[in-house]
């Protein structure tokens, strides 16, 4: 384990490059920044426990100003040709390329994920910009044959209006880009309410795209930012917000879903995951090791796609346990900006408390600890947010196994038949990501069939953690059912309209109805 002194981390050059001040306002309509009327919040790094900077939150008055500015901006932005909007997004991608190193370091320092993962998250933003540029020329509708002579029917898509984006701490910048870049090329305007645990990452993103907005005379209000928890429910209850894209816990997601549905608004919900890997006797154990260990400990287990459960065939259970124990003994825990470390801190001490309670509950339900967890102490872990990745032998029906704990706890579960393994995989309330490791074609095809995984993501011979922006991202059941990023996820940000044109000289009615005068 690393014993580097975390307090030696100097983040000041990064903050300067990204325009982060000791005190910042959390209200922006694009280029302009305004002094918020809400309370001050402080951003502490889980890396070393140091205060990074303060942010003045948005109050109700500030929120109202941002929404009105967005309404006006939408009137102009929606009329701009989609390829032109795509060109502006392309320039945003270039701006992110220029600031990739600095933004990646800030993500790592403010959130606590490894530097490699922080840089990878920024790369996802760049990739989604590239995807959105191509999409701006492919917002296709359909042409259909009419049953009436001299008539033409077709479908087209129009922008919704204002899209509210409420993002979580674990991906402080990427999730915003998955939504905003697609929404922008579709002709929508966006208001972002980031997690109050990582507000500086949001301010940095707004600063990065400011020059692009200025250079292209983009209307003030196309890219709004409101920091502070109070703005979340303002977005949810506001009839002017056509779509709310929420990423977070299932508990809060239920509230968002109910609130927005009551006003007939639209939602994209990316909620909890309880992801499993099935390991069969025909699996390549070297691949299993990489996929399961990174899935379980990457981002300190704070991904919605993190591997929570390993469902292992009884014939290879002991062998897999031994391999995992050996790998866990070699993990280096410490400053995530030090690329020799594998595991960084949890986001805050509340997360540490949840981690400790989950281990206690698993043991109380009959779980057997195979790799001991615990909170790390000492100068190298002075923030109090560092914990040891833990492995527990458990049963799928344990209450704690049925829950999502945002921490590096991996539950091992035995199975005898592939059908039993799939039932165990599906036997949780969540349905985000799933995986099977096997070289048996029948097993992999069964896993991918209608009798297989019930998750939104089903992988073969790769882990549960992470996804490419080319495919639609999201899950089923208590994961929410929403889809973001690639494929045809863009349709969620638009309204579909069916059009019929009569180019003849008579007006025949549909279904052969006669209505003669």
Cβ 162 vs Cβ 74: under 8 Å: yes
Cβ 409 vs Cβ 357: under 8 Å: no
The closest of 169, 113, 138 to 344, measured between CA atoms, is: 113
Burial class (CB in 10 A: 0-12, 13-18, 19+), 322: exposed
Q: Which residues are catalytic?
A: 270, 304
Query: What ranges in 112-244 are assigned the alpha helix state H?
Result: 115-135, 174-186, 199-215, 230-237
**Chain centroid, CA 315 distance in Å:** 36
Query: What ranges in 49-114 are assigned the alpha helix state H?
Result: 60-77, 82-98, 100-111
Radius of gyration of the chain from its Cα atoms, rounded to whole angstroms: 25
Going by DSSP bridges, is the β-strand pair 484-485/472-473 parallel, antiparallel, or unpaired? antiparallel
Dump strand ranges (E) for 264-306: 266-270, 275-279
Burial class (CB in 10 A: 0-12, 13-18, 19+), 253: buried
**Chain centroid, CA 115 distance in Å:** 18
Cβ 204 vs Cβ 512: under 8 Å: no
3-state secondary structure of 411: strand
3-state secondary structure of 130: helix
Q: CA 362, CA 349: separation in Å to the nearest integer?
A: 20
Q: CA 387, CA 373: separation in Å to the nearest integer?
A: 7
Cβ 110 vs Cβ 198: under 8 Å: yes
Q: 90-102: string of b/e by CB count within 10 Å (b at 16+)?
A: bbbbebbeebbeb
């Amino acid at each position: 384990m690393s014993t580097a002194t975390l307090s030696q981390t100097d983040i000041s050059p990064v903050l300067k490059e990204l325009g982060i001040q000791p005190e910042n306002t959390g209200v922006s309509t694009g280029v302009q920044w305004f002094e918020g009327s809400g309370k001050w919040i402080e951003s502490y790094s889980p890396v070393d426990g140091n205060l990074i900077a303060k942010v003045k939150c948005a109050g109700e008055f500030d929120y109202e100003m941002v929404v009105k500015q967005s309404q006006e901006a939408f009137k102009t932005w929606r009329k701009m040709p989609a390829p032109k909007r795509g060109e502006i997004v392309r320039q945003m991608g270039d701006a992110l390329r220029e600031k990739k190193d600095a933004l990646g370091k800030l993500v790592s320092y403010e959130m606590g994920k490894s530097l490699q993962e922080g840089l990878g998250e920024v790369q996802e933003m760049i990739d989604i910009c590239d995807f959105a540029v191509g999409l701006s020329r492919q917002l296709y509708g359909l042409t259909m044959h009419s049953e009436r002579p001299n008539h033409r029917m077709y479908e087209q898509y129009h922008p919704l209006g204002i899209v509210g984006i409420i993002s979580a701490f674990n991906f402080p910048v990427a999730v915003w880009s998955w939504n905003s870049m697609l929404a922008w090329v579709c002709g929508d305007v966006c208001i972002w309410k980031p997690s109050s645990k990582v507000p500086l990452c949001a301010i940095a993103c707004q600063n990065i795209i400011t020059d692009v907005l200025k250079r292209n005379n983009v209307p003030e209000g196309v890219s709004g930012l409101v920091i502070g928890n109070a703005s979340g429910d303002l977005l949810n209850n506001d009839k002017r917000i056509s779509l709310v894209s929420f990423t977070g816990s299932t508990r809060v997601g239920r509230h968002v879903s109910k609130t927005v549905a009551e006003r007939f608004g639209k939602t994209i919900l990316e909620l909890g995951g309880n992801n499993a890997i099935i390991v069969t006797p025909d699996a390549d154990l070297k691949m299993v090791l990489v996929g399961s260990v990174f899935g379980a400990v990457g981002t300190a287990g704070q991904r919605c796609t993190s591997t929570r459960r390993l469902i292992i065939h009884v014939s290879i259970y002991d062998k897999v346990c031994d391999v995992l124990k050996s790998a866990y003994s070699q993990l280096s825990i410490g400053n995530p900006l030090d690329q020799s470390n594998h595991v960084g801190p949890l986001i805050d001490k509340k997360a540490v408390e949840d981690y400790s309670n989950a281990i206690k509950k698993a043991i109380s339900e009959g779980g057997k600890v195979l790799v001991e967890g615990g909170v790390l102490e000492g100068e190298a872990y002075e923030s109090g947010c560092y914990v040891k990745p833990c492995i527990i032998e458990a049963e799928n029906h344990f209450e704690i196994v049925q829950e999502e704990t945002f921490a590096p706890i991996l539950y091992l579960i035995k199975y005898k038949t592939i059908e039993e393994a799939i039932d165990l995989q599906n036997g949780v309330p969540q349905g985000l990501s799933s995986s099977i490791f096997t070289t048996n074609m029948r097993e992999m095809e069964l896993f991918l069939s209608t009798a297989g995984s019930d998750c939104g993501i089903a992988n073969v011979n790769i882990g549960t953690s992470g996804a490419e922006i080319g495919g639609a991202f999201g899950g089923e059941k208590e994961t929410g059912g929403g889809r973001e990023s690639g494929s045809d996820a863009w349709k969620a940000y638009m309204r579909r309209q069916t059009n019929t044109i009569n180019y003849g000289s008579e007006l025949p009615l549909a279904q052969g109805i006669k209505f003669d005068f």
